[in-house]
Amino acid sequence: MARVFEGMYIGGGWAPAGGTFKDLNPADGSVWAEVPDSGKAEATAAVEAAHAAFPEWSALPFSKRAHVIHKAAEIWEKRRMEIVEALQAEGGGWFGKGMFETGYVTEIFHAAAASVWQPTGEVLPSEYGKVSMAVRRPMGVISVISPWNFPCILTGRGFLFALAAGNTIVLKPSEETPYTGGLLFAEIFEEAGLPKGVLNVITCSRDHVQEVGDVLIEHPLVKGISFTGSTAVGRQVAAKAAAHLKKFCMELGGKDSLIVCEDADMERATQAANFGSFMHQGQICMSVEKVLVHEKIYDDFLNRFVERASRLKVGDPTKSKEHIIGPLINDKQAGKVKDQLEDAIAKGAKVVLGGKVDGRYIEPTILTGVTPEMKLYQEETFGPVVPVIPFRTDEEAIAIANDTEYGLSAGVMTRDEARGLAIANRLDTGNCHINCSSVNDEPHVPFGGFKASGVGKHGGRWSLETFTETRWVTLDRGGRPYPPMF
């Protein structure tokens, strides 16, 4: 039986919407839940509730804000296995992915709470004997628009640091994961005793995304926007936010490379490629979408990579923990990946593993012979399909990795750390990991991309910088002189 959610969370209460929409289980297309379908009126009410709650929340001693967030972490941990089940059913994720995601979010809670003890300003030198200070203060209402692929992590990262800093929040999760990316957090914080209006969660169907999104960006009481999603939508959000001179932080798409040098540890390299390419069906902004391998070890690497990837089992993740590769999130996404695959094959690429598409289920697929004129080379894939491309020199590998509009993450596999750093320093990516996959994150690090992969940074003190305003405040003790004619 499908769950039924009675309302959205606005002003500390559960408010009904004008209608509902169906939240589907991507594994079998069944209705997992009936979710409130909001519109402009509900979005406006949520913004107003957050604005009304801001003075009291921002004035609350920072330790008190931290205590509420720590309490929420405890509740989250108690509900962990229930949340894992929801992630599998609502998002199509493997059991191990759910265990990782829920464990990681616990640490985001704690890292955000701990951030309130970090320095929030500086004392600056003054030529005039002033006490000169650069101080940070919360902005006000922050709207958070979060995605479906890692709904708990990317929602938590999007708002918890901003919340800890004293801002109030209006959260709109993806219509694909309205519970695990949205309403779940309302339940958690309501139980934790968060003051009314500090966190507001509104859900809506795809039909109402435009009108709700416009409110969350353009409403004059919204002071900042946190967006994680596709580059195409990110450009639209950025344009609207910029038109209103609003601060925003965006983590967008990627076309990430794993560079495997000839001196790489082969076991480590093939595991990094396998995890990076196929974890959560490749539906990660940091997924490895090009495996670049030195020609001296190309054949050996390819054989080992194919053998390792062939062990990954495809199937409904709610039926068996052995089903590592679940469904893609919806038919549209599966169709996009299928189109890229067919285009590559038609233009001469060779399938060396997988290639079968069965509805939303796509086998782990490895291709060779992929060239720049193919969609698979140019576009973000967001699916379990990856090319293996040979290179002769480090310069060539760097050129291939940088040959994209994106610049999110990368991995470099080599026993020579100096060589790895030299390569990393020439890659146009916001993140790079030597002897590890491009898929990496920790709650306290600066995470964000270059080029079309985003603007700004999430994580740790970088989130605090993003979601606070800097002010210059002085105390005049030296008697700075004015011109005598005044």
User: Could you say which of 176, 251, 289, 465 is catalytic?
Assistant: 251
In total, the chain counts a number of residues equal to 486
- Residue from 150, 2, 97, 27 nearest 321 by CA: 97
Instruction: Say if residues 387 and 273 touch (Cβ distance below 8 Å).
Output: no
- Verify whether residue 122 is a known catalytic residue: no
* Measured distance CA(27)–CA(89) in Å, rounded: 8
Q: Taking CA 453 as the corner, what is the angle to CA 424 and CA 94, rounded to the nearest 5 degrees?
A: 90
- CA distance linking residue 19 with residue 442, whole number of Å: 38
User: Could you tell me which residues are beta bridge partners of residue 19?
Assistant: 37
d(CA 407, CA 173): 25
Nearest alpha-carbon partner for 249 in 20, 35, 472, 448: 448
**Residue from 285, 289, 363, 379 carrying the catalytic annotation:** 285
Instruction: Note whether 190 and 176 are within 8 A (CB).
Output: no
Quick one: how far is CA 97 from the chain centroid? 15
- Taking a C-beta distance cutoff of 8 angstroms, is the pair 469, 136 a contact? yes
Bridge partners of 325, per DSSP, are 314
Is-catalytic flag, 152? no
- Token pair, residue 217, equals 């960006």
Residues annotated as catalytic are: 251, 285
